[in-house]
């Protein structure tokens, strides 16, 4: 660091301390952990001169970024004004990530102009575990925007560099917490006892990269065919599905989201020869009967496809067990595959497994969603991937938007697919089959209205099937 940079950093640290952006004492963090240091840079918006200085130092740090980028994006909310200052001063386009929850209709997840494949530089104020950066990265990725670098003003030095590195992101920081403490100790703002306290806190409270959390790049995926992958499986349901996919040359699942059983049966009889699986939402069927299930099972046999009930079990273990096995639907008696959100903990999977395992059923874990503003975080996705990898006797893969595991025996099924990229008016977002399979490296597309609302369901299903299967074949070359 040059002399001027040292002077600037020192002055900035003292000013941040002065305005209580950095505080020492006894604080309870969001996580419930007691910490001797508290950093909250939201306060800088009340000191415009300081805000400009912070943004200038962030910009200087960005000079070390080697990759080219088209735009910058501040992690909401504190870094938004910082990114704005940089954008205005340096004349570099900015993107805004919406942080609101779902339900905002057509409002986009990312505001601003961008093209598929653009690289975007992330701006952040403080980094602890890197999870906020990853949330923004994930939102950008959903829109086809790449991220290779992030700039942070203050790295708390608790492991964010390694966590982000595992996700292919280089973190550049203006300063680290140890440097901040040195400056404050030298300036007699804090004593050596406090410095020691913070140092041991940082040592104990470290975040380490978890295994297999990184969405794999398609070029890193082992180029194994469905047949080869099927041979590696010990889970009989996964093996069966790989077999059907290869035999029917179809990695297409149709989502039969109709409310009348007759509509479902008619659809399934038409598209059955072209799909590897039919997905149902059995609780939307208004005239449900055992006879309907019998006919559905007959169709499954006739056209050789599996049945996937998209119930997304998410309650405590005891409840999901009853939902899966009992009620009027008796899902476990007919559905080959079900899915679950593991939001409520390990009990969901344990309970479903108690019922499903001995019936040789399979389960998909919802690791990512297609809807805008969904609240799944990068940590949640990573924990879900770990759970899947530890329960491969019952879990056959994921409902996801990106390839999440490089384990060839786990399947990646992606909903939110239409022949044209777009969205509906209730937050559903669509990617094309090529994007999902070749660019993102997933295995299977799930298509609902793209087929069900078409005037010619058979030929439309064929078009989806060919487009997804060709994309898979291209990956093998």
Q: Which residues bind ligand S5P (CB under 6 A)?
A: 255, 257, 281, 310, 369-371, 399, 415-416, 428, 446-450
C-beta closer to ligand S5P: residue 159 or 448: 448
Q: Which of 118, 125, 310, 336 is catalytic?
A: 310
107 is catalytic: no
Provide the 3-class DSSP secondary structure of residue 447: strand
C-beta closer to ligand S5P: residue 62 or 414: 414
Q: Residue 428 annotated as binding?
A: yes
Q: Residue 448 annotated as binding?
A: yes
C-beta closer to ligand S5P: residue 59 or 313: 313
Minimum separation from the CB atom of position 321 to ligand S5P (A): 21
CA separation for the pair 463, 455 (Å, rounded):
13
Minimum separation from the CB atom of position 109 to ligand S5P (A): 14
456 is catalytic: no
C-beta closer to ligand S5P: residue 464 or 472: 464
Minimum separation from the CB atom of position 363 to ligand S5P (A): 13
Q: Which residue has the CB atom at the shortest distance from ligand S5P?
A: 448
Minimum separation from the CB atom of position 307 to ligand S5P (A): 14
Q: Which residues contact 289 (CB under 8 A, 6 or more apart)?
A: 261
Q: Residue 257 annotated as binding?
A: yes
C-beta closer to ligand S5P: residue 186 or 449: 449
Minimum separation from the CB atom of position 432 to ligand S5P (A): 12
Q: Residue 62 annotated as binding?
A: no
Output the DSSP codes for 15-64.
Answer: HHHHTTSEEEEEEE-TTS-EEEEEE-GGGGGG-HHHHHHHHHHHHHHGGG
CA separation for the pair 72, 75 (Å, rounded):
10
C-beta closer to ligand S5P: residue 21 or 416: 416
C-beta closer to ligand S5P: residue 246 or 424: 424
**How is residue 286 written in tokens?**
């208004």
Minimum separation from the CB atom of position 193 to ligand S5P (A): 51
Cis bond before residue 77 (omega within 30° of 0): yes
Minimum separation from the CB atom of position 417 to ligand S5P (A): 6
315 is catalytic: yes
Strand 22-28 and strand 34-39: the pairing is antiparallel
CB 260 within 8 A of CB 285: yes
Q: Which of 99, 270, 312, 421 is catalytic?
A: 312
**Residues across the chain:** 477
Among 65, 215, 204, 82, residue whose Cα is nearest residue 148: 65
Cβ neighbours of 246 (radius 10 Å): 17
Cβ neighbours of 20 (radius 10 Å): 10
Q: Residue 156 annotated as binding?
A: no
CA atoms within 13 A on the CB side of 462: 4
451's enclosing H/E stretch is helix 449-452
CA separation for the pair 82, 88 (Å, rounded):
10
Q: How far is CA 14 from the centre of its chain?
A: 38
Q: Residue 42 annotated as binding?
A: no
CA separation for the pair 323, 310 (Å, rounded):
13
CB 367 within 8 A of CB 413: no
Provide the 3-class DSSP secondary structure of residue 101: coil
**How is residue 429 written in tokens?**
């977002």
Tell me the binding residues.
Answer: 257, 279, 370, 428, 448-449
Catalytic residues: 310, 312, 315
Which residues are annotated binding-site positions for substrate? 257, 279, 370, 428, 448-449
């Amino acid at each position: 660091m040059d002399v001027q940079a040292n002077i600037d950093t020192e002055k900035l640290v003292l000013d941040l301390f002065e305005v209580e952006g950095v505080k020492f004492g006894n604080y309870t963090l969001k996580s419930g952990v007691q910490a001797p240091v508290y950093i909250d840079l939201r306060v800088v918006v009340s000191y415009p001169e300081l805000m400009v200085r912070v943004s200038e130092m962030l910009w200087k740090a960005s000079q070390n970024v080697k990759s080219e980028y088209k735009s910058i994006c501040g992690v909401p909310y504190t870094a938004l004004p910082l990114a704005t200052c940089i954008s205005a001063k340096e004349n570099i386009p900015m993107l805004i990530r919406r942080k609101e929850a779902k339900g905002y209709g057509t409002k986009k997840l990312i505001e601003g102009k961008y093209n598929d494949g653009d690289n975007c530089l992330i701006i952040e104020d403080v980094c602890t575990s890197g999870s906020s950066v990853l949330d923004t990265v994930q939102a950008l990725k959903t829109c086809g925007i790449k991220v290779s670098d992030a700039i942070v003003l203050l790295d708390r030095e608790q492991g964010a560099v390694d966590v982000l590195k595992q996700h292919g992101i280089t973190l550049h920081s203006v300063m680290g917490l140890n440097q901040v403490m040195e400056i404050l100790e030298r300036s007699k703002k804090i004593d050596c006892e406090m410095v020691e306290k913070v140092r041991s806190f940082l040592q104990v409270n470290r975040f380490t990269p978890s295994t297999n959390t990184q969405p794999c790049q398609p070029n890193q995926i082992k180029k194994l065919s469905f047949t080869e992958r099927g041979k590696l499986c010990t889970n009989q349901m996964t093996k069966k599905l790989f077999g059907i996919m290869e035999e029917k040359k179809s990695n297409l699942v149709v989502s039969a989201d109709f409310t009348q059983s007759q509509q479902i049966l008619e659809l399934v009889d038409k598209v059955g020869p072209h799909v590897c699986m039919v997905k149902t939402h059995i609780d939307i069927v208004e005239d449900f009967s055992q006879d309907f299930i019998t006919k559905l099972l007959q169709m499954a046999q006739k056209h050789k496809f599996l049945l996937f009930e998209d119930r997304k079990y998410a309650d405590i273990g005891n409840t999901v067990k009853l939902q899966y096995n009992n009620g009027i639907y008796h899902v476990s008696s007919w559905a080959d595959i079900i899915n679950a959100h593991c939001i409520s903990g390990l009990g969901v999977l344990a309970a479903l497994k108690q019922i499903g395992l001995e019936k040789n059923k399979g389960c998909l874990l919802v690791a990512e969603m297609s809807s805008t503003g969904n609240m799944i975080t990068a940590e949640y996705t990573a924990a879900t991937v770990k759970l899947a990898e530890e329960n491969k006797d019952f879990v056959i893969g994921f409902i996801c938007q990106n390839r999440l595991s490089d384990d060839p025996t786990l399947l990646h099924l992606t909903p939110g697919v239409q022949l044209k990229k777009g969205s509906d008016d209730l937050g559903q977002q669509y990617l094309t089959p090529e994007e999902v399979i070749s660019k993102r490296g997933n295995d299977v597309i799930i298509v609902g209205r793209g087929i069900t609302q078409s005037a010619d369901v058979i030929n439309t299903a064929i078009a989806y099937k060919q487009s997804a299967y060709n994309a898979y074949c291209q990956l093998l070359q």
